[in-house]
Amino acid sequence: MSLAVRHGGGKMAGFPRSLRGRLTTIAILVAAVVLAAGSSLTLSTVPDNLYGVVHSRVELAVRRVAAEARAGELPTVLTPPARIHFLRVRSSDGRIIASTPATSLQDAHMTDFRPPAPRTISTVEQTAPATSTEPAIHYLVKAMTVDTPEGPVTVYGASSLSDVDRALTWINLFVFVGSPLVLGIVGAITWAAVGSALRPVERISAELAEITGRDISRRVPVPDTGDEISSLARTTNHTLDRLERSAETQRRFVADASHELRSPISALRAQLEVANAYPDETDWKATGARALAAADRLATIVDELLMLARLDAGAVVPRRVVDLCRVVEEQARDREDGRVPIHLRLCASAPVCGSPVQLDRLLTNLLDNATRHAATRIEVEVSVRQAQVIVTVADDGDGIAPEDRERVFERFTRLESGRAKDKGGSGLGLPLSREIAAAHGGSLTVADHHPGARFVAVIPLYGGV
């Protein structure tokens, strides 16, 4: 076993590696097994059956004539049944007592034997020699000795085995010559059929080989066969569509991230360069505060980018049971001195299974967004319905137009109202919140609300109860 694994890699030695070769080999092997079983069954049963029919036919004719002889009712001229070539009755001294009409086939040597015991049938195979008009003929001859009123006589009967020999010749030709020919035909047809079926796959492979990371706009050809290969081609094109959109999103993301990171870095650099150029005229306390604010914004953007990258990569983070009611209470407590009051409507308990850090970030982003846009109040509701925890954060600000309700979840997208109210935003908070909700098996959407906007986060209830 170890030798086979070492040299064959766990595969059968000599077995074709290509799919076309494997299927052709399998088809030939299956056909060979079927032909071998059929040939064995044919060779073991058909010859005996054919010979048995002739034996029964001749024996029946001989016994009928023997019965007539015993009864003393034997005619001089015997009428042979169908497919019996001749009948003959000879006395103990060799005289022909009765016979079918004389023909050239009735050679004396075909009836020159006698049964070894009375009332038993002896069987021999004889060959009538060829003549100028007829070829040699193979006969099955049976003989039976019976007692008659005139004394013992021997009844002979014969039937040609030519049809049997001809049938067996064709059977042998099919088994020993036709079977290899059939296997060759099966192999050729399978090879051609599989090649034709795989030709679209070859075209798909060739097209995929031409597609590179720099240009994924090309698509594979879709055959109009409507089969599994056609489905494979369509699925491949759909995958390429998603890859192209993903690549475009990644390029746009990198460009936007570079732009967003450049702004706080440039601001921080400018402040430090001015302070360094005019140290005596610089208010270092104010400059430090502004630099610290720029560094905080930069750190926030980096943290959000890192969390998005982990979510995109499907990184597994530690999870435990988190009560969202308690998380909301803590968030509200930390914002008691905020610009607008937060009004809570909480259920008794809302347990979910998730990452405490990510869920806290989700609520932080929603409350930060509501705080930026609210005019006089923020309403937060946590409820449990149909094995789901529903968190609603609503404000009474300007609201979000229906056509922008999906745009706000695109990375680095900031509406004009958001830019006017907060120039330090990154446009990553809401996209990150939606990714966190999706990573926990939930969703985040914008619902109708007037005045203002209402965000609805849905997370599966822990335990499904």
pLDDT, tens digit, for every residue of 194-223?
A: 888 888 888 888 888 777 766 777 888 888
**Residues contacting 412, CB < 8 A, separation 6+:** 253, 256, 257, 259, 260, 426, 427, 428
Residue 153 CB burial class (10 angstroms; 0-12, 13-18, ≥19): buried
DSSP bridge partners of 458: 390, 443
The two tokens of residue 309 are 């990258």
Residue 142 CB burial class (10 angstroms; 0-12, 13-18, ≥19): buried
Q: How far apart are CA 212 and CA 216, in angstroms?
A: 6
Chain mean position to CA 102: 75
pLDDT at position 211:
78
For residue 332, is pLDDT > 70? yes
pLDDT at position 421:
54
For residue 420, is pLDDT > 70? no
Q: How far apart are CA 116 and CA 122, in angstroms?
A: 8
SS3 state at 307 = helix
For residue 353, is pLDDT > 80? yes
Q: How far apart are CA 140 and CA 158, in angstroms?
A: 5
Q: Over the stretch 356-368, which tens digit does the pLDDT of each residue have?
A: 988 998 998 899 8
The whole-number average pLDDT for the span 257-279 is 75
Q: Over the stretch 144-178, which tens digit does the pLDDT of each residue have?
A: 999 998 889 999 999 989 889 899 999 999 889 98
DSSP bridge partners of 125: 140
pLDDT at position 105:
47
**Residues contacting 427, CB < 8 A, separation 6+:** 256, 260, 411, 412, 413, 414, 418
Q: How far apart are CA 456 and CA 381, in angstroms?
A: 10
Q: Over the stretch 96-152, which tens digit does the pLDDT of each residue have?
A: 888 888 654 445 667 778 888 888 899 998 887 776 676 778 889 999 999 998 889
Residue 462: DSSP 8-state: G
Determine the CATH number of domain 317-464. Answer: 3.30.565.10
Hey, where are the domains in the chain?
1-210, 228-308, 317-464
Domain 228-308 belongs to what architecture? Answer: Orthogonal Bundle (1.10)
Q: Which of 5, 28, 4 is nearest to 16 (CA)?
A: 28
Confidence of residue 457 (pLDDT cuts 50, 70, 90): very high
For residue 375, is pLDDT > 80? yes
pLDDT at position 260:
63
The pair phi, psi for residue 339, each rounded to 5°, is -65, -40
Residue type, 162: S
Say if CB 228 and CB 395 are below 8 A apart: no
Say if CB 150 and CB 71 are below 8 A apart: no
Q: What percent of the chain stands above pLDDT 70?
A: 87
Domains 228-308 and 317-464 share a fold: no
For residue 4, is pLDDT > 60? no
Confidence of residue 465 (pLDDT cuts 50, 70, 90): very low
Dihedral of the alpha carbons of 390, 395, 399, 400, in degrees to the nearest 10: -30
Q: Which of 225, 68, 219 is nearest to 153 (CA)?
A: 68
Chain mean position to CA 204: 18
For residue 8, is pLDDT > 50? no
The whole-number average pLDDT for the span 240-268 is 73
Residue 316 CB: number of other CB atoms within 10 A? 8
The pair phi, psi for residue 192, each rounded to 5°, is -70, -40
Please report the DSSP string for 362-414 in residue order.
HHHHHHHHHHHH-SS-EEEEEEEETTEEEEEEEE-SS---GGGTTGGGSTT--
The secondary structure element, H or E, covering residue 184 is helix 179-210
Confidence of residue 9 (pLDDT cuts 50, 70, 90): very low
In angstroms, how far is the first alpha carbon of the chain from the final one?
A: 53
Q: How far apart are CA 350 and CA 384, in angstroms?
A: 7
SS3 state at 66 = helix
Say if CB 318 and CB 355 are below 8 A apart: yes
- Helices 162-173 and 19-70 pack at an angle, to 10 degrees, of 170
For residue 310, is pLDDT > 90? no
Q: How far apart are CA 156 and CA 114, in angstroms?
A: 9
pLDDT at position 442:
92
DSSP bridge partners of 459: 389
